[in-house]
Copies of this chain bind each other. A is one copy, B any other.
Amino acid sequence: MTTPTPVYLDCDTGVDDAVALAYLLASPAIDLVGIGTVSGNTSAAQAARNTLDLLQLAGRGDIPVAIGAHDHLSHGFSGGAPHVHGDNGIGGVILPRATREPEASTAVELLIELSHRFSGRLHVLTIGPVTNIALALAADPALPERIAGVTTMGGAAVVPGNITPVAEANIFNDPEAAAVLLAADWDVTLVPLDVTMDHTLSEADRGALLTSADPFTRAIGELLDHYFDFYLGEYGIRTCALHDPLAAILAAGAVGLTRAPRVPVVVDTSAGPGRGQTIADLRGQRMGVRDHAGSRIRVVLETDAAITPHLVETLLAVGTPSLRS
């Protein structure tokens, strides 16, 4: 087995953030070295609360959690998405309250500190609006030199958005920050709705999580209940899209990519009807979109396998004594 990749996670926990977190903790390919939170699905402070509570339930009180940006670059926090993620961000489930508090440092400070400690190896995984990343780049323009790569869940390339007809929530919540992230000189794997909506969890999968011997895994099954209700309107059945878990699985390198061209991507930061759209240049797709020389942004459009079996298997393995100490 190769050395696990040190990962800084930036999240707005969030039901699917919680599932992604569970996967990152369980994956042998990942060493989760720090977590920053940001407002998105819920407030940055609530996201930190949720993350701390989940980590304590998982017996991982060692991973630092720092609160990041409450407001976005161009506007204040809008109040989150309680109709999707519940009033507390995690489907209304009340978890045992963690005994520890967030770090005294900010998410930006934590990210920069980790980038020095794991210089050249640290991977940045974002599953919320990327306000913290833009602020970190502003605070330390040399940051990309110390980062091995960035995986960002966000955007919609050739499918409709989920906030406007063309904009996805993470990018729409802070288009200016996303533009900064995508313009920086590092390798970015963008994980848009085009591919995340293709991967779903079934009621049977959720039922399997609920039977786990591990209380953390069971909690994941519980907090998915409210989230499944929301997706009834999208898919016509109780299920959920695996937006953030897919990004986590890609960061772990656990599935391959069959269509993921490196192409120019710009974010629409205008005040027009396209605001928040990730405009990827996918022209020429009839003959297979070719990589554009010079683009460091890989847009994931298709994986080589369904991720759901791997995800469920990985989460269920946590209940066995060999994995969770």
- Interface residues, chain A, with chain B CB atoms under 8 Å away: 158-162, 164-166, 197, 234-236, 264, 266, 268-275, 277, 279-287
B281 touches A270 (CB 8 A): no
Task: Write out the residue numbers on chain B whose beta carbons fall within 8 Å of the beta carbon of A236.
Answer: 286-287
Q: Which of B165, B274, B287 lies in contact with A283, CB distance below 8 A?
A: B165
Nearest CB to that of A235 among chain B residues?
Answer: B286
How many copies of this protein are present in the complex? Answer: 2
Q: Closest CB-CB distance, A81 to chain B, in whole Å?
A: 15
Mind listing 30 A-B residue pairs with CB under 8 Å? A158-B158, A158-B160, A159-B285, A160-B281, A160-B283, A160-B285, A162-B283, A164-B279, A165-B264, A165-B280, A165-B281, A165-B282, A166-B274, A166-B279, A197-B286, A234-B286, A234-B287, A235-B286, A236-B286, A236-B287, A268-B272, A268-B274, A269-B272, A270-B272, A270-B273, A270-B274, A272-B274, A272-B275, A273-B274, A274-B279
Task: Write out the residue numbers on chain B whose beta carbons fall within 8 Å of the beta carbon of A266.
Answer: 273
Task: Write out the residue numbers on chain B whose beta carbons fall within 8 Å of the beta carbon of A234.
Answer: 284, 286-287
Nearest CB to that of A277 among chain B residues?
Answer: B274
Task: Write out the residue numbers on chain B whose beta carbons fall within 8 Å of the beta carbon of A158.
Answer: 158-160
Give Cα distance in the complex from A271 to B271, angstroms.
9
